[in-house]
Amino acid sequence: MILAGVIPRLGFGQFAALESVINQYAAVESILCVKENDPDSVVVSSLPSAFGEGDTVMIHCIQGAGIRLDDPTGDHGRDDQDPRNTGKYAFMIIDEIIGNTVVFNTTVRPEIGPMGPGEVVQLVRVPSYHRARVTAAGVTAPAFNGSTGGVMALFVRTTLKLDGNIDMSGKGFWGAVPSVNYGGDCSSEDPDLYDSTFYHKDNIRAGKKGEGTTDTLFTLLRGKAMNINGGGGGNAKFSGGGGGSNYSSGGRGGDESSLCPSGVEAPGGVGGFDLGRSDSYYLNRSEDIVILNRYDRIFFGGGGGTGTRMSGRTTTPGGNGGGLVVIVADTIDGNSGKWIRADGASVTTKATGAGGGGGGGGGIILDVSGYRIT
């Protein structure tokens, strides 16, 4: 966890009561550098009034990774080992606000560099407390909306009590939503036509892929290949969408309608890529890993893919991925039956057409000295 000169604001006395949404968010348009490749400030699209000088903030890089269209091992759609800023994060103090420019108290080099095309970055205001209590109403955050959200973060100098739940389930990357009605062909009509791993987002021969860490300028968002940690879309008639992923891979979607003769082999959407694979992310620091710049990254759970849709049939959307929980505290004081959760969303609606894949789990990042359960 990267804490760049953070000194939390502290309030003493009774436990601060926490419930509902405790963070505020701003979409980052650019990351600025006084010196080349040495970022020290950001420009945001608009800044909520809750942000002020002296506040602790989290800069969180959400999307922008390169995707591999053709992988020699068959993992088409996996990450191309070119994540750029994606998954990087750091905590800093706001030193000054000039219009829509937020200046930090320190630089974040080499952890985060200037933004490139297709990258999505947000700024999250992080409250700080001497001691705090999650009430029975619980704490959560808005779901990721393509620009902001999906993160619940807080600092507690002493004890965080859980009298309620912290739940970021289904707050990460979006599951795919079924769209335009499909023509109805089985893949056996033309296996070559229906066997592609990638189709343009407007091509209806396959369902949509779930949202993932991918560069947002990427447009081949249908077809059975994974969308990095987003599940693939089912090809042809009613093949299921793949499950989203995070540390571990997602599950493959089901085959075509049983009424179809043999056609494309395994047309269901491929589950999202396992970002915890040995050559990828969630790795301990080492000389090699520092050179590859793949350490200290956290990701939303990937959205599940979906399949094709026809009139009179129910094709279910993919489940949303889980969001992120980040807590820095001395002690977490648990309570029986209360929990911290960032699950991917399941797909529970019965499908009479194609079935959507479930969302991948999110992440829970804890920097604490101890835990107690009462």
What pLDDT is recorded for position 13?
A: 66
Residue ranges of E strands in 45-98: 56-63, 89-98
Report how far residue 42's alpha carbon sits from residue 119's, in angstroms, rounded to the nearest whole number. Answer: 14
pLDDT of residue 7: 47
The answer to whether 235 touches 224, Cβ cutoff 8 Å, is yes
Q: Domain coordinates of the chain in residue numbers?
A: 16-146
Residue type, 277: R
Residue with tokens 């026809």: 310
Contact 41, 104 (CB under 8 A): yes
Torsional sign, CA 197, 199, 201, 202: negative
CA atoms of 254 and 263, how far apart (whole Å): 14
Structure tokens at 68: 């591999």
221: left (phi over 0), alpha (psi -120 to 50) or beta: alpha
- What pLDDT shows up at residue 187? 95
> Which pLDDT score, from 0 to 100, does residue 339 have?
96
pLDDT string in tens for the chain (374-residue length): 656 555 455 555 689 999 999 999 999 999 998 776 677 899 999 999 999 999 999 999 999 999 999 999 899 999 988 899 999 999 999 999 999 999 999 887 667 888 999 999 999 999 999 999 999 999 999 999 999 999 999 999 999 999 999 999 999 999 999 988 898 899 999 999 999 999 999 999 999 999 999 999 999 999 999 999 999 999 999 999 999 999 999 999 999 999 999 898 889 999 999 999 866 788 766 655 555 667 789 999 999 999 999 999 999 999 999 999 999 999 999 998 999 999 999 999 999 999 999 999 999 999 999 999 87
pLDDT of residue 81: 84
Q: Which residues pair with 73 in a beta bridge?
A: none
Q: Where are the alpha helices (DSSP H) in the chain?
A: 191-194, 287-292
Pick the CATH number of 16-146 from 1.10.3470, 1.10.287, 2.40.30, 2.60.40: 2.40.30
Q: What is the pTM of this model?
A: 0.94
What is the CB-side half-sphere exposure of residue 64 using CA atoms within 13 A?
A: 21
**What pLDDT sits at residue 62?**
98
pLDDT of residue 113: 87
